[in-house]
Amino acid sequence: MKIAVITGASSGIGREFVNQLPSFYKALDELWIIARREKRLEEIREECMEKSGVYVRIFAGDLEKDLVYKQVKNRLENQNPDVRMLVNAAGFGKIGEAEEIARKDTALQLRMIDVNCRALTKMTFTILPYMGKGGRIINISSGASFCPQPGFCVYAATKSYVTSFSRGLNEELKKKGISVTAVCPGPVDTEFFEVSGTNNSKAKQAAMAAVSPVVKQALLDARAKKPVSVYGNLMQGARIAGKLLPSDMIFYAMEKWMK
């Protein structure tokens, strides 16, 4: 039985992967979707099954807790599927200075680390034993991973982990024929900013991308076994700048851009 697994499937980028994956992998038998909001997942399952005919299995749970991993692992052990793709799309951020955020909610940034880094890593190693040659892992990182981000520094640091982890794991898994792609978009028009907050700057609006082409590009890049997927010329430029320019110069440019 061939399956794909998607975390963070109830909204945003994860939700869009649910839309596009059945067309991308014609031979899928099941789609396993994971998120906290069970009612939302049920709505998505009904819509997806009606549209694609692929059976959708729900795992409603909090990735900060152990139960959902146990449920997924038990199902894997019982069915022994061939996992063709894992999409780690769960994650969140909070815009603002780190000290100020910590003063208001000391646990929030630790939760960000848990979800963006720990949960992604744990789900990867839960699924990996059931992936074979041709399997693909897509980890949703961010353009924020290209350099430190004042005003978004904990989130950017977590995404630097995701990109680095993905690239290193990709090299390790080549001998098994499994590829890993870190997806590094800029701002994407999703519910993300309802949680993170936003300054509504013209710079952010100019960089905003629609979710559908970002996901399509990610799937195409994963098919091509690219270690990093970057959508749009602006983010391509940011990636190059992060490699070539000193951090102080980037910080200055970011400050001017945001104004």
- Distance between CA atoms of residues 66 and 258, nearest Å: 40
- Distance between CA atoms of residues 116 and 152, nearest Å: 14
**Structure tokens, 121:** 């890593």
- The pLDDT-based confidence of 141 (bands split at 50, 70, 90) is very high
- Distance between CA atoms of residues 96 and 105, nearest Å: 12
Q: What pLDDT does residue 247 have?
A: 63
Q: Which domains does the chain have, with CATH numbers?
A: 2-258 (3.40.50.720)
- Distance between CA atoms of residues 87 and 13, nearest Å: 10
- The pLDDT-based confidence of 209 (bands split at 50, 70, 90) is confident
Check: CB of residue 82 under 8 Å from CB of residue 134: no
**Structure tokens, 63:** 């990735």
Instruction: Tell me the chain's radius of gyration from C-alpha atoms.
Output: 18
Lowest-confidence region among 14-18, 91-95, 160-164, 235-239: 235-239
- Distance between CA atoms of residues 68 and 125, nearest Å: 14
- The pLDDT-based confidence of 254 (bands split at 50, 70, 90) is low
- Assign residue 105 a region: left if phi > 0, alpha if psi is -120 to 50, beta otherwise? beta
- The pLDDT-based confidence of 232 (bands split at 50, 70, 90) is confident
51-97 per-position pLDDT tens digit: 999 999 999 999 999 999 999 999 999 999 999 999 999 999 999 99
- The pLDDT-based confidence of 256 (bands split at 50, 70, 90) is low
Q: What pLDDT does residue 54 have?
A: 96
185 CB-near residues (< 8 Å, 6+ apart): 13, 142, 143, 209, 214, 230, 231, 232, 235
**pLDDT above 90: residue 109:** yes
Q: What pLDDT does residue 26 have?
A: 87
- The pLDDT-based confidence of 151 (bands split at 50, 70, 90) is confident
Strands laid side by side in the 2-7 sheet: 55-60, 30-35, 2-7, 82-88, 136-140, 179-183, 228-229
Could you tell me where the DSSP H helices lie in the chain? 12-24, 38-52, 67-79, 98-104, 108-113, 120-127, 153-173, 192-196, 202-207, 211-223, 233-244, 247-258
Distances (CA, A) of 247 to 176, 233, 255: 37, 21, 12
- For all residues of the chain together, what is the average pLDDT? 89
**Structure tokens, 120:** 């992604």
HSE-CB of 64 using CA atoms within 13 angstroms: 12
Q: What pLDDT does residue 150 have?
A: 86
Q: What pLDDT does residue 148 have?
A: 82
Q: What pLDDT does residue 237 have?
A: 64
